[in-house]
Amino acid sequence: MKKTNKEESTQDAIRRVADSVRDLLIEKNVAYGDSALGGAQVFSQVPATVALSARIDDKLGRIKTSGINDTTEDTVHDLCGYLVLLLIAMEKEGIRAAQRFGS
Torsion sign over Cα 90, 96, 97, 103: negative
Q: How far apart are CA 92 and CA 48, in angstroms?
A: 9
Q: How far is CA 62 from CA 11, 25, 76, in A?
A: 29, 20, 10
Residue 94 pLDDT > 70, yes or no? yes
**Is the pTM value of this prediction over 0.85?**
no
- Average pLDDT of the residues in 79-85: 96
Q: Kindly report the CA angle at 28 between 59 and 32, in degrees rounded to 5?
A: 105
Instruction: Write down the pLDDT at residue 2.
Output: 55
Looking at per-residue pLDDT, the higher value among 43 and 97 belongs to: 43
pLDDT digits over 21-79, tens only?
999 999 999 998 888 887 667 787 888 999 999 999 999 999 999 999 999 999 999 99
Contacting residues for 49 by C-beta, under 8 A, at least 6 apart:
86, 89, 90, 93, 95, 100
